[in-house]
Amino acid sequence: MTKQIILIIFILLSIILVCGCSVAAFKIYSRQFGRTQAVPENQFTASYKWHEIDQIKYSREEVRFRSGKNLLQGFIYGGYGDNGLVIFSHGLGGNADTYLSLIMFFVDNGWSVFAYNNTGVSGSEGKHVRGLTQSVIDLDATLQYVKETDALNKLPIMLIGHSWGGYATSAVLNYDHNVNAVVSLAAFNNGPEVFKEQGILTAGSFYHLLAPYFWTIQRSYFGKTMKLTAVDGINKTTIPVMIVQSADDNLIYAATTSIYAKRKKITNPRVEIVYFEGEDVSGHQHVYYSKAAREYRQTANENWQRYSAENDNASLSRWAQEYNYNKIQANELNSELMQRINLFFINAR
């Protein structure tokens, strides 16, 4: 076999490897950030759905606004006035309704609440959610909509978000918006950084083979925006920012990718940190729930696991009915934390 033939074979194998890795990376990325569909009303969820709560007390106005080429779906609760406007940014895999317990709390305390669905989520346009940086882009678009809306732009503006949304509330401060205060719940500091960490934990060394392709995908979607960090946003302003983190968070780790992990790099003098540890740990998804609610959910989940193991084609909705699942108990908030956030916002007006 001549050197020329060997070279041709090597080149062909290299092309096949590159193409294979590219296709694999795109499929993995697309599966990770696919579209989040709205949950049908007859399907059980542990959190509230709007049709399950008092729609008179918590009436909402639906609005539409553009983020890039897509129209996003938003909801305004509590009218236009009193304390000010709380804008809520949801987490990945959920939607605005997932956080109705928080929305109801703020309405009960005299706030108007603007909750919206990110690109590719529920009633918002978009074939997929695109990636972790998208939450910043969509919150930036939301704040632009508020700025251009006379009924909203005269109100003090507070931002609060969880996980993906918590990152957005801090990272969006890299832009020039009139915001009074921010609360980031269980949030990461930078999108590509947490994507890499989760990729290595899931795929091990195989992740490193695909890493350049993942970077290229994110770069093509977000450009330089993918470099935005929550800490840079926090440091660009002097408004009050509250960072809430649990020591046992098993998704956004307190020691690595969380905003909390980067706290020594924060120079904003008005940052307040709430760190749950010891008996007070709350995990990732339940960081704002009461201890009783977390325990109730854990017990219910264990019961569901037994039920599904004992029943072929077990129906979650039927189980919930037989179990007499109590959504009020399951969605009880951490009253001490929530009152602290409420006062934090009131003092920032």
Higher pLDDT, 206 or 64: 64
Residue with tokens 């309405």: 107
Please determine, for residue 180, whether its predicted confidence score (pLDDT) is greater than 90. yes
Q: What is the pLDDT of residues 48-58, one digit of tens each?
A: 999 999 999 99
Q: What is the pLDDT of residues 215-267, one digit of tens each?
A: 999 999 999 999 999 999 999 999 999 999 999 999 999 999 999 999 999 99
Q: What is the mean pLDDT of residues 93-118?
A: 97
Please determine, for residue 118, whether its predicted confidence score (pLDDT) is greater than 60. yes
268: which 2 tokens?
Answer: 């904003």
Which pLDDT score is estimated for 15?
59
Q: What is the mean pLDDT of residues 88-92?
A: 98
CA 266, 339, 133, 203 dihedral sign is positive
Q: What is the mean pLDDT of residues 183-211?
A: 94
Please determine, for residue 45, whether its predicted confidence score (pLDDT) is greater than 80. yes
> For residue 133, what pLDDT band results from cuts at 50, 70 and 90?
very high
- Measured CA to CA, the distance from residue 317 to residue 297 in angstroms comes to 15
Q: What is the pLDDT of residues 143-178, one digit of tens each?
A: 999 999 999 999 999 999 999 999 999 999 999 999
Mean pLDDT, the chain, rounded, equals 93
- Measured CA to CA, the distance from residue 103 to residue 99 in angstroms comes to 6
Between strands 157-162 and 181-185, the pairing is: parallel
Find how far residue 83's CA is from the centre of its chain: 25
Q: Are 349 and 84 in contact (CB under 8 A)?
A: yes
Which pLDDT score is estimated for 12?
55
Q: Are 314 and 307 in contact (CB under 8 A)?
A: yes
- Helix spans in the chain (H): 3-32, 100-108, 134-147, 164-171, 191-203, 206-222, 230-235, 291-310, 316-323, 327-330, 335-348
